Amino acid sequence: MQQKHFVENYQFWLKLTSSLAVFAAGCMILVKVYAWYQTDSAVMLASLTDSMFDIAASIINFFVIRYALTPADEEHRFGHGKAEALAGLAQATFIMGSAMLLAFHSIERLKNPLPLIRPELAIYASVFSIVITLALVWVQRIAIKHTQSVAIKADSLHYQSDLLMNMAVVLALYLSTLGFYAMDGAFAIGIALYLVWGAKSIFVEAGAALMDKELPELTEQIEAIAKRQPLVYGVHAIRTRQAGATKFIQMHLELNDNMTLLDAHRVTHDVELAIEAEIPGADVLIHQDPISVVKKS
């Protein structure tokens, strides 16, 4: 029952955040298109370009996450959870692409700075984007606490960078109104560099999930849970990895040589249930070893 509740909760938060991200990015694009058209600001175009990539990445997330949440089937016996990490890689690629486009455009604007037309419109658009993004990041942080999803972490990191970016846009636009026209292009280049830095961390985390990186924070907890069972002499060969909501755990239990198969099964089953109760989303596979064999090896 607890595992079922965890899975349902995980699915709820992933679906909610992916839907909200698409809606938020769509709203920001409409406002920024109008503001850029009216002002011809490089930093506003930088913000708009990022939002265009945001909605593309969020749409990919929307569909990939739903695929990742589908149950295991005949062709994917371990489930589809790694699709979340693929969504993270796609987002990182979009971020890198948007950063390069911004940099090229902004360098040209930096060489030939121009006064802005109606910069207050771009400021209003950026403030609106900050409010929308703050609300989305707040929901995403709640979702991360509930799920620890790589896809949501990647999406949240992206929108957190958007918060800083929109704040920088407001500052750049304000400085432009004071006559510092080069700030429009300079801030846009700074935003591009920040996006590249953010994409790097997403690449690392998504790559770790795809490469089945060990979950060292779980090893001691798993061993402690198993050893609470009085008939377990020891534990070794603990392996862990994660795909989506599921944490795959493999281990060897050291049991008495003279224990019957039925008793060994009962002890193993008790350990499995204990681990699943304390580690949400755990999928446990246990091998039993006679204690004498372990000592010889």
Query: pLDDT of 108-143, one tens digit each?
Result: 666 666 566 677 777 888 888 889 989 988 988 888
User: Are residues 34 and 72 both part of a single domain?
Assistant: yes
Q: Quote the number of domains for the chain.
A: 2
> pLDDT band for position 204 (50/70/90)?
confident
Point out the domain boundary residue: 210, 242, 259.
Answer: 210
Which one is predicted more confidently, 219 or 75?
219
Residue 3 has pLDDT above 60, yes or no: no
User: Are residues 229 and 196 both part of a single domain?
Assistant: no
Gap between the Cα atoms of 126 and 169, Å rounded: 7
Query: Whole-model pTM above 0.75?
Result: no
Q: What is the CATH number of the domain that holds 60?
A: 1.20.1510.10
Residue 29 has pLDDT above 80, yes or no: yes
The pLDDT tens digits of the residues spanning 140-189 come to 888 888 777 766 776 777 777 777 777 777 777 777 777 776 666 677 67
Question: What's at 279, amino acid-wise?
Answer: I
User: Are residues 174 and 253 both part of a single domain?
Assistant: no
In the prediction, which pLDDT does 238 show?
Answer: 87
User: Are residues 206 and 229 both part of a single domain?
Assistant: no
- DSSP annotation of 259: -
In the prediction, which pLDDT does 202 show?
Answer: 74
User: Are residues 188 and 74 both part of a single domain?
Assistant: yes
In the prediction, which pLDDT does 212 show?
Answer: 72
**Which segment, 35-39, 68-72, 85-89, 248-252, is predicted with the most confidence on average?**
248-252
Range of the domain at 120: 2-210
Residue 284 has pLDDT above 70, yes or no: yes
Which one is predicted more confidently, 53 or 108?
53
User: Are residues 91 and 131 both part of a single domain?
Assistant: yes
The CA dihedral of 214, 217, 218, 223, to the nearest 10 degrees, is: 110
Q: What is the CATH number of the domain that holds 262?
A: 3.30.70.1350
User: Are residues 202 and 264 both part of a single domain?
Assistant: no
Residue 2 has pLDDT above 60, yes or no: no
CB 252, CB 286: distance < 8 Å: yes
In the prediction, which pLDDT does 1 show?
Answer: 53
User: Are residues 241 and 134 both part of a single domain?
Assistant: no
Point out the domain boundary residue: 180, 210, 240.
Answer: 210
Which one is predicted more confidently, 198 or 144?
144
Gap between the Cα atoms of 4 and 69, Å rounded: 13
pLDDT mean over 227-233? 87
User: Are residues 165 and 20 both part of a single domain?
Assistant: yes
The SS3 assignment for 255 reads strand
Question: What's at 266, amino acid-wise?
Answer: R
In the prediction, which pLDDT does 115 show?
Answer: 61
Residue 32 has pLDDT above 80, yes or no: yes
User: Are residues 175 and 55 both part of a single domain?
Assistant: yes
- Sheet bearing 282-290, strands edge to edge: 234-243, 246-255, 282-290
In the prediction, which pLDDT does 170 show?
Answer: 78
